[in-house]
Structure 1
Amino acid sequence: MNEQGQAEGAQTVRITSVEQIRKEKYRYNLFVNDIQDEPFIAVHEDIMIKFRLFKGREIHPDELKEIAEEDTKHRAYALGIQYLGLRPRTHKEMAQYLARKGIDEQAAEQAIARLKQERLVDDADYASRFAASRLRGQAKGRLLLRQELRMRGIAKETAKEATDELDAEEETAVALRAAIKKWPYIKGEPRERRHKLMGYLLRRGFPGSVVKEAVREAIRQSEAEDEPDMLDN
């Protein structure tokens, strides 16, 4: 609500004009007391219908606060749904987004609570999907994935549970593929190359046991390929 609306909120006002906002679908400007310079308040179509905010309707000051609060909650939820249309979001990401959109913290948390109840915001499910996808698509190990989940606002225990769910054999296979791909580009003596490869995989978040196995197998396969084929003699 604008300053004019706040000033006039101390007394009953009568809606004298309703105009749809061109750039905001389903939202309407309400003008009161024949004042057309600027709208008294803007509300969503659902709120307008719920409170019967049509031309000629009188709004009591006690009712105005409830209308504004209901519209803010509705807008927060609608923005949340729109934001989820791009990809799944965490509680933290949603809260930050709604804050950027000017939604107050209380209304944002109410909207997020509703989205959680509807399973549209689910940090545990998000964490599991994120970890599995990044392991396969970006060759990142569980330790780095755990850090990335924490950076996205996922609780420590939830992040740990999600990464602990990762298939150990798949993680080892991913680490091995990364090691095989990296090995030919590492320079130096054999021992130095081995340490560099281990460091590379550790930085990608793979556990020490996985790294040792992947490095050992990658080097074994590389050496096997370098051996001359006895059948050629």
Structure 2
Amino acid sequence: MPPGPDENPDREADPREVARSIALRQLTMAPRTRAQLAEKMADRDVPDDVAVEVLDRFEEVGLVDDQAFAEGWVRSRSTGRGRRALAQELRRKGVDDETAAQALEAVDHDTQIDAARDLVRRKLRSTAGLDRAVRERRLFGMLARRGFPTDVVLRVVREELDGLG
């Protein structure tokens, strides 16, 4: 892109301004973790010390908050995912294990059972004509892939299939 009227093409861009611009642009699109923003800055060759400085400042003013990000992520995704899957997603987003564990406290055993039960009930309609063993395998697999613990998977699938008669 050609330089704007106020830009000097011979002058290097200030790395702090580049870092701030990257962070603000990313945060405008969606909430981001500190690690995600640092990765974007590294992609644009922002020096590590500058990235740390800018990210520290963004944390000070509340624009970057991994705890709030993790809590929001868990709240918005817990209806279709188990704790294990949510923990993996947070880890991929760069949330540390301690922060993730605090956010995941909101997903208790009963919450997981309710979420798994809702998913199974929806899936039961599409497996109506199948043999019970096939239905069990499909339901077990669906819940396992979504990160539900084994005890929840077994309990919910069996209860729901038994409830059908």
Q: TM-score normalized by structure 1?
A: 0.62
RMSD: 2.4
Considering fraction of residues, name the structure with more strand: 1
- 1:28–1:42 CA contact under 8 A, matched in 2: no
Match of 2:10?
40
Deviation at 1:201, TM superposition (A): 0.8
| Percent identity (aligned) | 30
In structure 2, what residue type is equivalent to 1:102?
Answer: D
Corresponding residue of 1:109: 52
1:64-117 Cα deviation digits (max 9, x unpaired): xxxxxxx32133123211210011101111011112223122111111111111
Q: Aligned equivalents of 1:129 and 1:217: distance in 2?
A: 31
Partners of 1:133 and 1:167 in 2: CA distance: 15
1:208 aligned residue:
150
Does 1 or 2 have the higher relative contact order (CA < 8 Å, sep 6+)?
2
201-210 or 186-195: bigger deviation: 186-195
Q: Say which of 104, 109, 118 aligns to 1:177.
A: 118
Q: 2:16 aligns with which of 55, 73, 82?
A: 73
Q: What is the total number of aligned residue pairs between the two structures?
A: 163
Deviation at 1:150, TM superposition (A): 0.8
CA–CA distance in 1 between the matches of 2:19 and 2:92? Answer: 24
2:92 counterpart of 1:122: no
- Which ranges of structure 2 fall in alignment gaps of 5 or more residues? none
Equivalent in the alignment of 1:28 = 7
Which structure 2 residues correspond to residues 1-233 of structure 1 after superposition, within 5 A? 21-22=3-4, 28-29=7-8, 39-42=9-12, 71-136=14-79, 139-186=80-127, 189-223=131-165
* Range with bigger deviation, 209-218 or 183-192: 183-192
Contact 1:172 1:214 survives alignment (8 Å): yes
State the one-letter code of the partner of 1:28: E
- Cα deviation digits, residues 142-175 of structure 1 (max 9, x gap): 1111111111111122222212222543332221
Shift of 1:193: 2.7
> Structure 1 residue 176: deviation in Å?
0.7
Flag the structure with larger Rg: 1
* Unmatched runs of 5 consecutive residues or more in structure 1: 1-20, 30-38, 44-70, 224-233
Q: Secondary structure at the match of 1:85?
A: helix
**Which structure has the highest helix share of the two?**
2
| Structure 2 length-normalised TM | 0.84
